[in-house]
Structure formats: C-alpha cells, structure tokens
C-alpha cells in the first residue's frame, strides 16, 4: 500500500512539473492556434541559460533563475517576431511546419554549445535529504517544482482574470475578429503569448534540470511529453494542463512501478503516455477540458 501511495505522490509531483511545461504550450495554442513543436527546445534553453549564469558567471541561483526566465521571455518573443509574425495569414499547416523547423534550428544551436554533448548538474542548493512523511519521500527539488507550479498557475490565473493584457489575451483566444474590432492588437498578443510561454518554459526547465541534471535529450523529451498532457487535458485549457499533467505523471509512475520488469518490459514510462494519447485521440479528441470545437469530419 505504501508503495502505491509513494507512486501516486511522486506521480503528482512529476505531473506538476509536466503541467508547468504544458502551460507555455497551452498559452501559445490558446492565443494563436499554433502547435509549438519547439517547446522542448525552449525548455532546454532556459535551463542551460540558468546554469550558465549560476556556474559560469557565478551569480546566485535565485537571481539567475529569475534572469533566465526574463531572458527566455525576450528570446521567445523575438522568435515569434522573427519567424512566426511573417506567417500570420498563411495556412496553419505551414505555421506548424515552421515550428518544426525551429525545433531543428534550436537543436543545432544547442549542439554548438557544450551543453549539447556534456551533462552537467546544478550545484546543490537545496538540502540533499529528501522529505519523508510516514515512509513516503519527496526530494527537495521536487517540492520546489510543486511550489513553483502552484505559484505560476496562481500568477497566471490572476493575470488572466484581472490585468488588462490578460483580458485582451483571453479576448483574442475567444474570437480574433471581435478582439481586433475593439482595438486589441492581435500580433502583439501573439508575441506576448510566446513570451509568456518562454517564461514558463524556463521555469520548467530549471526545475527539471535540478531534478534530473542537465541532459539535453531528457530536457528535449519533456517538450514531447507535453503532447500527451495537453491532449489529455484539452489543447486550449489551462486547468486541463494541470489535470492532464498530474494524470500523465501518475500514469508514468504506475507504468514504471508496475509494468517494468514484468513480461520483459522496460522503460514503459517513456511510451505509455503516447499510447494514452492515441487512445484519447480516438475516443475523446478534445480531451477532458478542451472546447468541443473539433467537428466530426
């Protein structure tokens, strides 16, 4: 029983981080209907920037964490400005292919840095002893991840509810034409959505980097694990990102906890989310919380 609870708890913890990673993806999809295949690369970039600032430039971790978020904020805003802005009005299929190209470009750029080939790990800033509650243990970086996810989601829900820009972003995601006619600058909102996505991606990247170490492949894979999360939760739902993230986290933990080693299976945690994804696509394509806009063709 304790094993089961341990799996659920670590599933929730991992899932929170997935939710944070998925948040940026959902922000972009919600505002501009673009599926961003380069999200994992932005996550990795955020993590590497934080590492470079902390270790190579010797800036305290907290400041470099915030700085990396600011840098990716502007980085992904400029990505939008440079590549995506020109594609407004093109068929959505070309826009998505541009993000696939971007994924490849950022891959190449990261391979140019030492991070592409070497693994690093963040200096130990949190206590090494994990937290233990009655036999269930959680490591400190994971606690940090959960706290940060909660903070981020709290911040963003406040932002969307109360601030003018947030309301404008919701308006654009609801109806671009109507938003434009009341004076919302739609391209600016797209840029902001990308920037906000970059910010959350950096936060997710730094937290994942703290838990698993800085391996480019691991970080990049998170950007792909985001797909099952958002499909399960609904592509355009922020609540869905949280619920989907936690569900996928728990499913992964169950897979590695119960399936691995039986019937000669190994590494099921990497593949079960995608099986779930295909099943969801077949039976409930708009996910748990997504808008039911997908028509049956």
**C-alpha to C-alpha distance for 290 and 232, rounded to whole angstroms:** 9
**C-alpha to C-alpha distance for 246 and 14, rounded to whole angstroms:** 7
Choose the binding region for other proteins from 4-12, 65-73, 102-110, 147-155 (rule: CB under 8 A). Answer: 102-110
Neighbours of 12 (CB within 10 A): 19
Out of 106, 202, 241, 248, which residue is the one contacting other proteins (CB under 8 A)?
106
Out of 227, 237, 245, 255, which residue is the one contacting other proteins (CB under 8 A)?
227
- Residue whose structure tokens are 């990505």: 79
**By the rule CB under 8 A, 114 interacts with other proteins:** yes
- Among the residues of 33-91, which ranges form H helices? 39-51, 61-79
Out of 59, 105, 125, 180, which residue is the one contacting other proteins (CB under 8 A)?
105
Least distance in angstroms from the C-beta of 295 to other proteins: 7
Which tokens hold the place of 222? Answer: 């998170």
Which tokens hold the place of 240? Answer: 């869905």
The 62-91 contact track toward other proteins, x by CB under 8 A, reads ---------------------x--xx--x-
Considering only CA atoms, which of 154, 13, 161, 37 is closest in space to residue 102? Answer: 37
Least distance in angstroms from the C-beta of 98 to other proteins: 5
For 202, residues 6+ apart whose C-beta sits below 8 A from its C-beta are 42, 43, 45, 46, 47, 49, 50, 68, 69, 71, 72, 73
Is 99 in contact with 38 (CB distance < 8 Å)? yes
**By the rule CB under 8 A, 277 interacts with other proteins:** yes
The 250-269 contact track toward other proteins, x by CB under 8 A, reads --------------xxxx--
Residues 177-206 within binding reach of other proteins (CB under 8 A): none
Q: What is the DSSP letter of 294?
A: P
Least distance in angstroms from the C-beta of 223 to other proteins: 11
**By the rule CB under 8 A, 160 interacts with other proteins:** no
Interacting residues toward other proteins by CB under 8 A: 33, 35, 37, 83, 86-87, 90, 92-94, 96-98, 100-109, 111-112, 114, 116-118, 224, 227-228, 231, 264-267, 270-271, 274-275, 277-278, 281-282, 285, 294-297
């Amino acid at each position: 029983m304790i094993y089961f609870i341990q799996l659920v708890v670590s599933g929730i913890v991992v899932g929170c981080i997935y939710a944070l990673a998925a948040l940026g993806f959902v922000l972009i999809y919600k505002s501009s209907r673009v599926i961003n295949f380069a999200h994992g690369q932005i996550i990795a970039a955020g993590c590497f920037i934080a590492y470079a600032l902390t270790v190579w430039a010797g800036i305290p971790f907290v400041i470099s964490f915030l700085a990396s978020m600011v840098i990716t904020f502007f980085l992904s805003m400029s990505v939008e400005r440079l590549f995506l802005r020109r594609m407004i009005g093109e068929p959505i299929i070309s826009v998505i292919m541009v993000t696939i190209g971007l994924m490849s470009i950022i891959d190449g750029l990261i391979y140019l840095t030492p991070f592409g080939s070497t693994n690093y790990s963040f200096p130990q800033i949190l206590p090494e002893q994990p937290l233990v509650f009655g036999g269930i243990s959680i490591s400190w970086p994971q606690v940090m991840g959960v706290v940060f996810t909660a903070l981020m989601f709290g911040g963003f829900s406040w932002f969307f509810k109360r601030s003018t820009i947030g309301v404008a972003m919701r308006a654009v995601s609801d109806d671009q034409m109507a938003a434009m006619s009341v004076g919302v600058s739609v391209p600016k909102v797209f840029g902001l959505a990308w920037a906000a996505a970059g910010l959350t991606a950096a936060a997710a990247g730094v937290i994942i980097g703290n838990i698993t170490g800085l391996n480019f492949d691991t970080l990049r894979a998170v950007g792909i694990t985001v797909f099952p999360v958002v499909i399960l939760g609904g592509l355009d739902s922020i609540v869905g990102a949280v619920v989907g993230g936690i569900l996928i986290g728990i499913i992964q933990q169950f897979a590695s906890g119960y399936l691995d080693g039986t019937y000669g299976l190994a590494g099921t945690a990497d593949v079960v989310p995608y099986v779930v994804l295909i099943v969801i696509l077949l039976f409930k394509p708009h996910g748990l919380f997504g808008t039911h806009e997908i028509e049956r063709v």
